[in-house]
Chain A
Amino acid sequence: MAFHFPKPTPEQSTTTADAGLADSHHHERPRGLMRWVLTTSHKEIGSLYLIFSLTMFFIGGIFALVVRAELFQPGLQLVEPEFFNQMTTMHGLIMVFGAVMPAFVGLANWMVPLQIGAPDMALPRLNNFSFWLLPVAFTLLLSTLFMPGGAPNFGWTFYAPLSTTYAPPSTTFFILSLHLAGISSILGAINIIATILNLRAPGMRMMDMPLFVWTWLITAFLLIAVMPVLAGVITMMLMDINFGTSFFSAAGGGDPVLFQHLFWFFGHPEVYILILPAFGIVSAIIPTFARKRLFGYASMVYATASIAILSFLVWAHHMFVVGLPLVAELFFMYATMLIAVPTGVKVFNWITTLFRGSITFEPPMLFALAFVVLFTIGGFSGLMLAIAPADFQYHDTYFVVAHFHYVLVPGAVFAIMAAVYYWLPKWTGHYPHERLSQVHFWLSVIGVNLTFFPMHFSGLAGMPRRIPDYALQFADFNMVSSLGALLYGASQLVFVLVIVMCVRGGKKAPAKAWEGAEDLEWSVPSPAPLHTFETPPNFERPVH
């Protein structure tokens, strides 16, 4: 998010020893725009990812506000149902693939090398390529809004045959853009794995890595495992649409339910891809501001790994009402309930870290604490959804919408904001404006809860999701949600203001910007110079 202004120091410009790994560092650097287009610096690419993600966050947010505006009161006022469906679809796709995932990749780019004492990512040029695929992919996706027949209108889950036989012509472009975004994620994942496995500072064992690195390593493995499945599914769609195959059409001997199995085999690990790095961020921030080591480091690692493994065994809990046989329902119900155990362990560990700490409430800490509370609420509704018989009542209602927005907005998005506030001093050399950050925090917390809490009620009372108009008994809940969404959306402008101000100036931050911070990134100056750890750092294991 922050522009990085390189200030080469004398030592760096004379370092030549390890040119092999990041060979482009020492050429004459292009200036102006080309500097950003061709950059191979993990810090600059990280900033590009974060800026891209913030842009997408606003575009996806505007789509959400269109949806909320239409739902402000019963009746159709602003948009046609057809366009409403395009808005819900684009909102979902852009937030998942364009905002949250690139934000985490951006954070990984910036922080993984700094946290493990590596000079850069293992594959810097590939890193540049995987970033630049994203603007192409999402320009293509957004351009479908202007195509005849409109943008994709079948929801971000694009169930066949609505997304194949009955889809608008732009679907082929949607598939192409998703392929590009998928390749970008895959390349990013390869790079992160290669970096973490091979470029750790001498002496740093796997079990010494900060949790953000651990969670990202596991996330990257999930990406490697499931993004090809997504690619496979959308390739099958492409073939069904354009080449007369019938993978998902009963007419030709296919099965629309197969689509859902394949999609959720990708989709469920995908939702953990969206949350595991958030766990890592919170696990870094809470100990820093509690001034106490993270409780249960090892169990955090094992819990993350168990969640990742279990995520492959629970996909059909998204399909409890498609007519699965009883044994399958039972299996997926039990497996899903089981996920509550490692997730619970994480929450307990964070809270025990707070217990008998010495706590202060800087902006990153505020967001991390809100994350713990609100993500847990999302976890509770997730546990309720896991109960298959009850899910017959919850499925595809606003209760589900409330659930996944609780884990993704005050969950993943708050964690990203916490990370930005936490690491902004490292990126820019300045502290973010404290008062404005607090304003941003409180407005966001109020906005998020006003938006999503009433959805629990409207869902339980019987409001299906993805409808442009609703029965009169849901009117009050929807009005509150829409007002909350407006507040939440508007308060993000404060976020942008804080970031811009922080890039331009502010209170100077020392290398160790937060008193309780322990990881390696705090050993380099703030702002982090363009080249760091060209000589491996001296890694000291915390004393047990």
Chain B
Amino acid sequence: MTQPNRDDHGAKKGVRRTVVRTVAALAGMFAFAFALVPLYDVFCEVTGINGKTNSSAQAVIHEEVDESRMITVQFITRGSSGLPWELDVESRQVRVHPGQTNEVNFTFHNRSDNSSWGRAVPSVSPSNASLHLRKVTCFCFEEQHLQPGERIEAPLVFQLTRDLPPEIKTVTLVYTLYPVAHKNEPLQAQVTIGKGDEA
């Protein structure tokens, strides 16, 4: 035994310290994963990367209308299985100047014999246009409840701000209807598991 003994007491203390620190880091990373969800939303809202639009009303920016350019705004409405509704828009395409406030009417129609809840989820392309799209009024902010056969008109009031990048000449707004599953009783089978009709 010419070697000094290992400092076992010190090693044990060291091990304990390491464990405490790694466990703290673990807890932190687990929390971070969940924090990434709202962070991602904020990040997307700031950078416009996923083409999601603001989920609440924004005020109009009063700015001079840029009459030097016209932007084509396309509206696409899509249904989805599981919600027997139709969403229509009065005009599929409008030409607007940046800065100008515009109104377009959409019609929701429940074609079924049951009342149901649904919402129209928006997506904008190109995605970076979403930063410059201000929605003053939009049916997409809230869930809709339609009686059997009911038809409602809902306006979209929006403004494309003047700082819209010059390379953007067309903005496409897509609204997809989705059922609000937890409010619809009984839960509608909106999915087919694995088995398709083509099998």
Contact = CB atoms under 8 A, between A and B. Distances in A.
A537 interface: yes
Interface in A178-208: 186, 189-190, 193-194, 197-199, 201-202
Contacts, number: 137
A225 B25 CA distance: 7
B49 A324 contact: yes
A32 interface: no
B13 to A, nearest CB: 8
B23 A190 contact: yes
A17 B19 contact: no
A202 B4 contact: yes
A21 B5 contact: no
Contacts of A226: 29
Given A197-B18, A228-B29, A250 B178 contact: yes
Given A226-B29, A250-B121, A325 B194 contact: no
A303 to B, nearest CB: 24
A123 interface: yes
Contacts of B6: 18, 199, 201-202, 535-536
Contact of B36 (A262, A325, A538): A262
Given A226-B29, A257-B50, A20 B12 contact: yes
B196 to A, nearest CB: 10
A146 interface: no
A247 B37 contact: yes
Contacts of A189: 22
A228 B3 CA distance: 41
Contacts of B178: 250-252
A202 B27 CA distance: 32
A536 B2 CA distance: 10
A389 interface: no
A225 B29 contact: yes
Interface string A321-342: 0011100100000000000000
A315 B184 CA distance: 38
Contact of B37 (A165, A199, A236): A236
Interface in B162-187: 176, 178-179, 181-182
Nearest to A323: B127
B40 to A, nearest CB: 5
Contacts of A253: 55, 121
A274 B181 CA distance: 41
Interface string B122-135: 01000110000000
A38 interface: no
B8 interface: yes
B29 A538 contact: no
Nearest to B17: A198
Nearest to B176: A250
A325 B128 contact: yes
A17 B14 CA distance: 19
A186 B121 contact: no
A325 B176 CA distance: 22
A253 B123 CA distance: 11
Interface residues of A, number: 55
A21 B8 contact: yes
Nearest to A248: B37
Contacts of A232: 30, 32-34, 36
A10 interface: no
A190 B40 contact: no
Contact of B33 (A190, A229, A538): A229
A180 B45 CA distance: 35
Contacts of A261: 36, 40
B105 interface: no
Nearest to A85: B194
B26 interface: yes
Contact of A18 (B5, B32, B194): B5
B128 A229 contact: no
B121 A251 contact: yes
Contact of B22 (A17, A167, A193): A193
Given A194-B15, A535-B1, A535-B3, A231 B55 contact: no
B191 interface: yes
Nearest to B4: A202
B121 A224 contact: no
A150 B193 CA distance: 11
Contacts of A325: 47-49, 127-128
A53 interface: no
A542 interface: no
Given A166-B191, A325-B49, A202 B3 contact: yes
Interface in A525-544: 535-538
A522 B44 CA distance: 55
A543 to B, nearest CB: 20
B11 interface: yes
25 contacts: A122-B15, A149-B194, A165-B191, A166-B191, A168-B194, A189-B22, A190-B18, A193-B22, A194-B18, A199-B6, A199-B11, A229-B32, A229-B33, A229-B36, A232-B30, A251-B178, A257-B50, A258-B37, A261-B36, A325-B48, A325-B49, A328-B49, A536-B5, A538-B2, A538-B3
**Nearest 8 pairs of A and B residues by beta carbon:** A232-B33, A251-B178, A198-B14, A228-B29, A228-B30, A194-B18, A229-B33, A122-B15
Given A167-B193, A228-B26, 13 more contacts: A18-B8, A149-B194, A166-B194, A190-B22, A194-B15, A202-B3, A225-B25, A228-B27, A229-B29, A250-B178, A325-B48, A325-B49, A535-B6
Interface of B: 1-6, 8-9, 11-12, 14-15, 18-19, 22-23, 25-30, 32-34, 36-37, 40, 44, 47-52, 55, 80, 121, 123, 127-128, 176, 178-179, 181-182, 190-191, 193-194
